[in-house]
Chains A and B, each alone.
Chain A
Amino acid sequence: MGRFFQWMLTGLGRARILAGLLCMVGGVAAPSFTAELDPDQIAVGDFATLKLAFTDLGDVVAPPPPVVPNASVTYRGSSRQFSIVNFSRSSTVIHEYAISPKTQGTATIPAITVEVDGRKYTSEPVVLRVGAGRDLSSIGFLKLSVPRTNVYVGETFPVEVRFYFRIQPAQQAPPTITMEGFLKGRQHLDSLPPESINGHDHAVARWTLAVTAVKPGDFEIGPAELQTVYRYESRRGFFGGYESRQLTFTSDPLHLRVLSPPAAGRPATFDGAVGRFRVDVSASPTNVTVGDPVTVRVRIAGRGNFDGLALPALPPNSGFQSYPGTNSFVEAKDDPLGLSGTKSFEVVLVPEQSGLQRLRWPVITSWDPVDRKYVTEEGRPLTIQVRPGAGGQAQPTGSNVVAASASPASRTGPVPGDLALKTELGRLRRVSGSVVMDGGFWVAFGMPLLAYAVVAGGIRWRRRRREDPAVAQGLRLRHAVSEALAGLALHAQSGRSPEFFTALHSALQGQLALVLGGAAGSYTEDVIDGKLASRGLDSENAERLRSLFSAIAQARFAPGTTPGELSERAADAEQVIQALRRLEGAV
């Protein structure tokens, strides 16, 4: 065994092993392109996976989804496989598509041709057998509804799709509704309280879509389709797990009759507006000179098709010239579809005649689809006092007037859905990316956090230090030594011998406790040779310390000492304390 490893480690052995491995993987399979269905037999509502496998063709981009009649095809993603079979290695890129047939029978996926490096590869057509769809009613069902089945041209109304389900899908897309003769608007999704149907509780999801009828006739809305993905426990593999299944719920279609508002009794002021509206008009200023601009604000509030709502032209010979303005729409707060709200117009009128001018404008006539009658609304008449001018027509001003003031509009009011150009240029700025892409922003953002962490950490460190008994003892001793040293000089000068030696005793004992770590007051001169010498106290200071201990002992029995001697002792004590401080921390 040992010899074998030695042989392997020699250069010749390594070369032989490498050659052997190269022989094992040396063969390469021929390039190929295949199409495969998994499974090839499904039911309506399920989906099969079409796998396009490109073997040894490199990184092939996914071909566009094939067109399969009566089925929807969506790209799902790609994967890569490596294999060695009979000493032949191969690399396969697999692009997967989900195929969901809508009708029973067979669906043929046609041959697919791809071009790689100038060479064309074509797959074989594959056939998908589609059986009858499963009964989805045990899972849920879809219901399509409208408020009325008779609507009017120009009327905007909500179409509601409700999904009643007993099992929550893992994923669901917004439903699709096929319709012709209608314009789709905004949509909104919300949840409704659960309902009990046939003794079973069903959760309810509701999509509401704003729809506008555009031409008269009999039309069909729907069916609505809702694509969902459910996850089931898999029984295929040994280890179980989950598998996804796409289920499509379909509603019944609805038949709608779209009528034109009746010609009989139609007022001349009717301009196609459908809904219920109220009109409010205001003007300012109301006391002007001929040629001065007057801004007229018209607010039309209500429910209906606001897109088709425009201001009518000024009546002929009204005495005013109109200039284009702006309009804006603010939807009602509780109406996410925008069917209710307020449309505001701002128009500039220029009086051409002097005198007290009265203007009944605008007059809005709409068809009320609920009460089925024409309704004419107008705001209070405008009364404007116009003084004679000095001659010459003034140009309109204001924030909403197009700069082309010399050319009045050919028609009054904005074109439906049209917007006036903005006249205030604003400040021109170079458009750059957001500051959040700048590292400096995040540094500035993190600085308060860092400052907080530093201050909090510092305070905590100080608190812990203060609460440490050893540290607290050290601080107390240091304080006591400092105070005693300060008292030495004073007592020496005043010749107070007892106080001097008491302070000397305190200073020495305190400093020795700091050096040796014991309790102050327990040290005698024995520590000089026993502990301090080993810590490096020089002989001169050792001798001084010994003499200080002796002086303290003598003072107990003969306290009388001259101030000069006390000063000398004080100087010695200071030198000894300095020397002992140098020994703090030394072992």
Chain B
Amino acid sequence: MRRPGRSLRGFQWIAVALLIGMLHCLAAETGGFEAANRLAAEGKFAEGAAAYDVLAAGGRTSPALEFNRAQARFKAGQPGRAWAHLLTADRLSPRDGTLRMAAEQMAPRIPAGATALSGADHWIHLLTLNEWAVLALLSMWIWGILAVGGLLSPTWRLKLRKAVWISGSLVAVFTLLLSGALWSRWRNPDTVVLQGDTAIRVSPLDEARTAFSMQEGAELRSRGTRGDWVLVEEPVSRRTGWAKRGEVAVLPFR
């Protein structure tokens, strides 16, 4: 018969070990980030960009990391990758004012730069899709609780009438805004060309004929994937074709 105290102590040790491991990882990440920053500050932009890539190799990233990757890539002469990182940072942290300044700095070398991070629906991008979704969900639950409460008690109905109307209006507004944000994400380009003269092919095969080619940093709409290929649409002419996954970057749907 095992005593419960012993097993509890075992859990405590595991928790302490996990905490130490997490702190160690955090320190390693911060150290790596500072080292990469130092390389970039010394003018070693390609080395700095590679060091940032190592931090993001696990598929995890942060707005600051994407921003610095964009800066290093841009200064290393890779405007397409820089643009993709900057737009990713914008999707992760849409209210960061420094992103717009960086976009203006990069704009002359980016085909879509003139309209970047601006436009009539810029305000709808002040929040991420998740933030709009949370607002819509919260308002819906508040309305639901108040409305159901009003149904259950005639006294509450009178007291809650105003609150139900206000929360119902908020539900309508936030749901509309969420729909607008979704529509905007769907309508706007979400794919960036990473290399100059990237061939967009008529079918997802290496030997397929080139339908058209795109400049580095150009923005496209992704319309599906098949293996290592992405079906893209050129927003102006609405021509479609297939691009290799490594030659374009598809931004997160956020």
Contacts and interface: CB of A to CB of B under 8 A. Distances in A.
Interface of A: 61-62, 64-65, 74-75, 77, 115, 184, 186, 307, 324, 326-330, 402-404, 407, 417-419, 421-437, 441, 444-445, 447-449, 451-452, 455-456, 459
A434 B38 contact: no
Contacts of B211: 61
B92 A422 contact: no
A74 B234 CA distance: 13
A31 to B, nearest CB: 17
B65 A428 contact: yes
B144 A448 contact: yes
B140 A429 contact: no
Contacts of B88: 431
A500 to B, nearest CB: 43
Nearest to A456: B151
A246 to B, nearest CB: 16
A344 to B, nearest CB: 10
A451 B65 contact: no
Contacts of A422: 64, 67-68, 98
A115 B254 CA distance: 41
Given A61-B241, A403-B37, A425-B64, 16 more contacts: A61-B209, A61-B211, A75-B237, A115-B209, A404-B42, A426-B63, A426-B65, A428-B56, A431-B59, A431-B92, A432-B252, A436-B182, A437-B253, A441-B133, A448-B147, A456-B151
Contacts of B145: 448
A416 B244 CA distance: 37
B37 A434 contact: no
A459 B151 contact: yes
B104 interface: yes
Interface string B29-41: 1100111011011
Interface residues of B, number: 62
B116 to A, nearest CB: 11
Given A407-B42, A425-B30, A326 B60 contact: no
6 contacts: A403-B38, A407-B42, A419-B105, A426-B63, A444-B137, A449-B144
A421 B40 contact: yes
A61 B29 contact: no
Interface in B61-105: 61-65, 67-68, 71-72, 88, 92, 97-98, 101-102, 104-105
A402 B37 contact: yes
Contacts of B123: none
Nearest to A449: B144
Closest 6 CB pairs of A and B: A448-B144, A404-B41, A426-B62, A434-B129, A422-B64, A428-B60
B37 A419 contact: no
B41 A428 contact: no
B131 to A, nearest CB: 10
Interface of B: 29-30, 33-35, 37-38, 40-42, 55-56, 58-65, 67-68, 71-72, 88, 92, 97-98, 101-102, 104-105, 114, 118, 128-130, 133, 136-137, 140-141, 143-145, 147-148, 151-152, 178, 182, 202, 209, 211-212, 237-239, 241, 252-254
B15 to A, nearest CB: 20
A1 B237 CA distance: 59
Contact of B71 (A329, A419, A436): A419
Interface of B is mostly: helix
A403 B34 contact: yes
A185 B63 CA distance: 26
A455 B252 contact: no
A561 to B, nearest CB: 51
Contact of A418 (B58, B105, B141): B105
B104 A417 contact: yes
A447 B133 contact: no
Contacts of A77: 238
A426 B148 CA distance: 41
Contact of B254 (A327, A329, A434): A434
Contacts of B133: 434-436, 441
Contact of A74 (B60, B148, B237): B237
Contacts of B61: 428-429, 431
A388 B41 CA distance: 30
Contacts of A448: 140-141, 143-145, 147-148
Contacts of A427: 62
B128 A328 contact: no
B37 A329 contact: no
A455 B151 CA distance: 7
Given A402-B37, A433-B252, A330 B97 contact: yes
Nearest to B254: A434
A201 to B, nearest CB: 27
A176 to B, nearest CB: 12
B254 A445 contact: no
Contacts of B105: 417-419
B41 A421 contact: yes
Contact of B55 (A61, A115, A428): A428
Contacts of A61: 202, 209, 211, 241
A425 B182 contact: no
Contacts of A430: 59-60
Contacts of A65: 237
Contact of A184 (B64, B114, B151): B114
Nearest to A74: B237
Contact of B130 (A404, A426, A435, A445): A435
A421 B37 contact: yes
A424 to B, nearest CB: 6
Greatest chain A CB density within 10 A among B61, B101, B152, B202 is at B101
B87 to A, nearest CB: 12
Contact of A452 (B40, B129, B151, B253): B151
A404 B37 contact: yes
Contacts of B29: 425, 428
A62 B202 CA distance: 10
Contacts of B38: 402-404
B65 A425 contact: yes
Nearest to A406: B38
Contacts of B92: 431
Greatest chain A CB density within 10 A among B60, B64, B92 is at B64
B62 A451 contact: no
Contacts of B143: 448
A330 B209 CA distance: 48
B106 to A, nearest CB: 10
A306 to B, nearest CB: 10
A9 B68 CA distance: 78
A326 B98 contact: yes
A39 B181 CA distance: 42
Nearest to B179: A436
A422 B58 CA distance: 21
A428 B40 contact: no
B254 A62 contact: no
B190 to A, nearest CB: 11
B71 A421 contact: yes
